[in-house]
Amino acid sequence: MTAVHSTASSLQVGVSIYVRPGQPSLWENGIAQNCLFLLQLLAQIPEVGRVVLINGSEASDADLQTLALPYDYPVVSTTDALATLDVAIEMGAQFSADWARAFRDRGGCLVGMCVGNNYVIDIERMMFNRPSGFVVSGAPYHAVWTIPEYERSCKPYYEAALRAPVHILPHLWRDDFLRAAERQLPEGRRFGYQPRKRWRLGVFEPNLCMVKTCHVPMLSAEFAYRLDPAAIEVLRVFNALELKAHAGFVAFATSLDLVRHGLASFEGRLPITTALTEHADVVVSHHWENGQNYLYYEALLGGYPLIHNSPYLAGCGYAYTDFDCEEAGLALLRAHQVHDQSLDQYRQQAQAYLRTVDPLHPANVADYRRALLDALGVTP
């Protein structure tokens, strides 16, 4: 069929989103925020006339529109999207293969935007008989987009399994939602690092997949504690309530001096604004092929010491290599020695880096514009 799209400032573009019905939250994971940041960027592309959210969940359109504040993007059903859109970007919710084929048959351009480590997640779910995550459905994508952290582990997987060209595009973030959450803090609380003689360490890995777990951060904190017990007041491991019931994790945790000396706790999930204003001064983190995380950006924005092994932060924070717990512990102690004196420089460096991931940054808009026009088969 003849394509329905044009490029004369009139493209109708939608991004799929999935949230839980009832009381959805933008803080359950980063994908919902990422969908909104992508729409914010797409709206800056000259050829795009309208952007919408495609409701791929059981949540009501009203729930989604509440989440979309302050952007107030329109929400459409998959049925309306099929009939009206020129470009559908599958991101937060996956389209059925039948829907995808029907959309392409009527001339629509279908793009898969992959912002999770689907290679690892898919393997774990297949091997351990867990419900499927991303599904290789045979949908006829014009293109697949992903971000730099997945170039090594996922790009070949997407190319082979999805039979579409894969483009690496910038990760996107800005502080709109964090600032909105900050305004909900109790009176007198503000998001931002406050110097303390002894640090409260926070570990925030979700512990849902092996790419982001608390094990290396715990060992890193332990190594620092063995070298300088006076530097650490407490270690708080968030997103860890279910782990407390696992015999292997209990054996691992109770082998640590921090735990045996009563200086560690294992908590549920808290909003990052609450956790870092009330319970922790430092973020100790680790990733495996997942080095671009909103957690890092949130910590950097607030001037909090970030102990990390990400190669993507342009020298921000206090870095260590790969899985090296000793190096991470030394990075933590180095941060403890210098952070308060160099806080202004730390904030300035962080702000400079965070501007590079802003959806409104001209270079990011240009990169996504090129990818969009390529998917449409149009020469810029």
Q: What one-letter code names the amino acid at 107?
A: G
Burial class, 22, CB count within 10 angstroms (exposed 0-12 / middle 13-18 / buried 19+)? exposed
Contact partners, residue 281, CB within 8 Å, separation at least 6 = 193, 194, 196, 199, 200, 201, 202, 304, 305
* Contact criterion met (CB below 8 Å) for 326 and 222: no
Looking at domain 11-174+358-376, its CATH architecture is 3-Layer(aba) Sandwich (3.40)
User: In angstroms, what CA-CA distances link 323 with 214, 347, 380?
Assistant: 12, 26, 43
Maximum Cα–Cα distance across the chain: 71
For residue 180, what pLDDT is reported?
Answer: 86
Tokens matching residue 372: 């969009």
For residue 214, what pLDDT is reported?
Answer: 98
- Run of H or E residues at 369: helix 362-376
For residue 325, what pLDDT is reported?
Answer: 98
User: In angstroms, what CA-CA distances link 244 with 255, 270, 319?
Assistant: 14, 17, 29
| First and final C-alpha spacing in the chain | 23
Burial class, 344, CB count within 10 angstroms (exposed 0-12 / middle 13-18 / buried 19+)? exposed
Give the CATH number of domain 184-355. Answer: 3.40.50.2000
* Contact criterion met (CB below 8 Å) for 201 and 234: yes
Taking the C-alpha atoms of residue 14 and residue 373, their distance in angstroms, rounded to an integer, is: 15
Q: Could you give the 3-state DSSP secondary structure of residue 293?
A: coil
For residue 359, what pLDDT is reported?
Answer: 98
Cross-sheet strand order for the sheet of 75-77: 75-77, 48-55, 11-17, 87-90, 109-114, 143-146, 166-168
Tokens matching residue 366: 């240009």
Q: CATH 3.40.50.2000: which residues of the chain?
A: 184-355
Q: Partners of 283 in the beta sheet? A: 202, 306
DSSP assignment of 72-135: ---EEEHHHHHHH-SEEEESSSPPPHHHHHHHHHTT-EEEEEE-S-HHHHHHHHHHTTPPP-S-
Q: CATH 3.40.50.720: which residues of the chain?
A: 11-174+358-376
For residue 1, what pLDDT is reported?
Answer: 34
Per-residue pLDDT for the chain (380 aa), expressed as one digit of tens each? 334 555 556 999 999 998 777 656 666 667 889 999 999 999 999 999 999 999 987 777 777 767 666 678 899 999 999 999 999 999 999 999 999 999 999 999 999 999 999 999 999 988 887 777 667 889 999 999 999 999 999 999 999 999 999 999 999 999 998 998 898 888 888 999 999 999 999 999 999 999 999 999 999 999 999 999 999 999 999 999 999 999 999 999 999 999 999 999 999 999 999 999 999 999 999 999 999 999 999 999 999 999 999 999 999 999 999 999 999 999 999 999 999 999 999 999 999 999 999 999 999 999 999 999 999 998 77
Q: Partners of 167 in the beta sheet? A: 145
For residue 2, what pLDDT is reported?
Answer: 36
- Run of H or E residues at 52: strand 48-55
